[in-house]
C-alpha cells in the first residue's frame, strides 16, 4: 500500500538533510511503526506521505500510484491524527467534526454521535473545544481522522497526553481499525504502544533507518532464550528454555522454595533500541 524508496528531505533553512535516503514499504492491512527520539525525522516522513511537505527526492508510491500523481481524491483515501491537536477552539466538538466532515463524500462518513461515544466524549459533544482538556482534544483529534472511513491512517504520537485508561482505549480502537483492513502508519517514542500494536517497527535516528522487523523478532534476537526464576527467599537463577521441562537443575531449583516470579529474558524494545542505535527515546 505504501512504498518509499531512497526518500530524502531537507528543510529550507537547515544545512543538512532531515531524511537521509530512507526506504521502507507497508503492506495493505499492516500496522507499521516508526520509533525514534524527538527530531529523528518521524513526523517529517509522515508529512511527506500525507502531502504537507513537498520538494522531496526519491520514490513514493501509494497503492501503486506515484504520490505526485494523486489529485485531491488522495485526501479521501487517508486520515491523519496529528501529534498536536489543532481544532477551532470556539466551535463545539460536533461543529469541528461537521466542518471537517463537509470536505468528504457524505456516503463514507461515520455517525458522529457514535464516534463521540466511542471515545467517551458524548457529554462534551456540544461544548466549545476551548473547554476541553488536552486528553479530550487528542480523542477528538482521533475521531476526526477516522470519521470519513479512510483506507490509510497516519497517527503521530496517538496516545500522547492521554491517561493510561484512555491511552489503552485508543490503542484498542487502532487495533479494531486494523481488523477492518485499514493500513496504519504510527510514529511514536512509546515502546509500549509500538510493542502492543505494530506488526513491524522501524528504528529511525538522525534521519536514517537502522533496522526494521517485528517487535517479537527484535526482542528475541537481542535478548536471551532463557527464563529467570525468582524465589520468595530472594534466590534467583537463569535457565535455558531449551528442553526446560526435562532440565533436572531447573526442576530442582523450583523445589527449593516458594516461587515469586518466572519471566523470560527476551529484551524489551527499549533495550533493543539502545542496543541498535546507541541512543535513548527522549
Q: What DSSP string runs through 143-171?
A: HHHHTT--SEEEEESTTTT--HHHHHHHH
Q: Does residue 220 surpass a pLDDT of 80?
A: yes
Q: Are the CB atoms for 22 and 209 separated by under 8 Å? A: yes
Q: Does residue 215 surpass a pLDDT of 80?
A: yes
Question: Which residues share a beta bridge with 209?
Answer: 204
Q: Are the CB atoms for 217 and 266 separated by under 8 Å? A: no
Q: Are the CB atoms for 112 and 98 separated by under 8 Å? A: yes
Q: Does residue 107 surpass a pLDDT of 80?
A: no
CA-to-CA distance for 272 and 167, rounded, in angstroms?
Answer: 23
Place of cell 529474558: 265
Q: Does residue 108 surpass a pLDDT of 80?
A: no
Give SS3 for 271. helix
pLDDT band for position 69 (50/70/90)?
A: very high
pLDDT band for position 65 (50/70/90)?
A: very high
End-to-end CA distance of the chain: 31
169-203 pLDDT tens trace: 999 999 999 999 999 999 988 888 999 999 999 99
The pLDDT of residue 282: 63
CA-to-CA distance for 138 and 170, rounded, in angstroms?
Answer: 10
Give SS3 for 243. coil
Q: Does residue 106 surpass a pLDDT of 90?
A: no
CA-to-CA distance for 176 and 171, rounded, in angstroms?
Answer: 9
The pLDDT of residue 43: 92
Q: How far is CA 233 from the centre of its chain?
A: 41
pTM: 0.87
CA-to-CA distance for 282 and 279, rounded, in angstroms?
Answer: 9
Give SS3 for 118. helix
What's the average model confidence in pLDDT over 213-222? Answer: 90
Continuous segment of H or E residues that includes residue 104: none
The pLDDT of residue 105: 81
What's the average model confidence in pLDDT over 7-35? Answer: 96
pLDDT band for position 44 (50/70/90)?
A: very high
Give SS3 for 235. coil
pLDDT band for position 81 (50/70/90)?
A: very high
Amino acid at each position: 500500500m505504501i512504498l518509499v524508496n531512497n526518500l530524502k528531505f531537507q528543510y529550507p533553512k537547515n544545512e543538512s538533510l532531515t531524511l537521509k535516503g530512507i526506504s521502507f514499504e507497508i503492506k495493505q492491512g499492516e500496522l507499521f511503526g516508526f520509533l525514534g527520539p524527538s527530531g529523528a525525522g518521524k513526523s517529517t516522513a509522515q508529512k511527506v506521505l500525507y502531502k504537507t511537505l513537498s520538494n522531496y527526492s526519491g520514490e513514493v508510491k501509494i497503492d501503486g500510484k506515484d504520490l505526485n500523481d494523486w489529485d485531491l481524491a488522495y485526501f479521501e483515501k487517508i486520515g491523519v491524527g496529528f501529534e498536536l491537536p489543532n481544532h477551532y477552539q470556539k466551535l463545539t466538538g460536533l461543529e469541528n467534526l461537521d466542518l471537517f466532515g463537509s470536505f468528504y463524500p457524505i456516503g463514507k462518513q461515520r455517525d458522529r454521535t457514535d464516534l463521540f461515544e466511542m471515545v467517551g466524549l458524548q457529554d462534551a459533544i456540544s461544548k466549545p473545544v476551548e473547554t476541553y482538556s488536552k486528553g479530550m482534544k487528542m480523542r477528538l483529534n482521533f475521531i476526526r481522522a477516522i470519521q470519513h472511513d479512510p483506507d490509510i491512517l497516519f497517527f503521530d504520537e496517538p496516545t500522547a497526553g492521554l491517561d493510561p485508561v484512555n491511552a489503552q482505549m485508543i490503542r484498542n480502537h487502532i487495533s479494531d481499525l486494523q481488523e477492518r483492513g485499514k493500513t496504519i502508519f504510527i510514529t511514536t517514542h512509546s515502546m509500549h504502544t509500538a510493542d502492543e500494536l505494530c506488526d513491524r517497527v522501524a528504528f529511525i535516528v538522525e534521519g536514517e533507518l537502522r533496522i526494521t522487523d517485528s517487535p517479537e523478532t527484535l526482542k528475541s534476537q537481542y535478548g536471551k532464550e532463557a527464563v529467570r526464576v525468582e524465589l520468595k527467599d530472594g534466590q534467583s537463577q537463569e535457565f535455558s528454555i531449551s528442553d526446560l521441562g526435562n532440565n533436572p537443575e531447573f526442576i530442582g531449583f523450583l523445589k527449593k522454595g516458594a516461587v515469586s516470579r518466572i519471566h523470560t529474558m527476551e529484551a524489551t524494545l527499549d533495550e533493543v533500541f539502545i542496543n541498535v542505535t546507541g541512543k535513548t527515546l527522549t
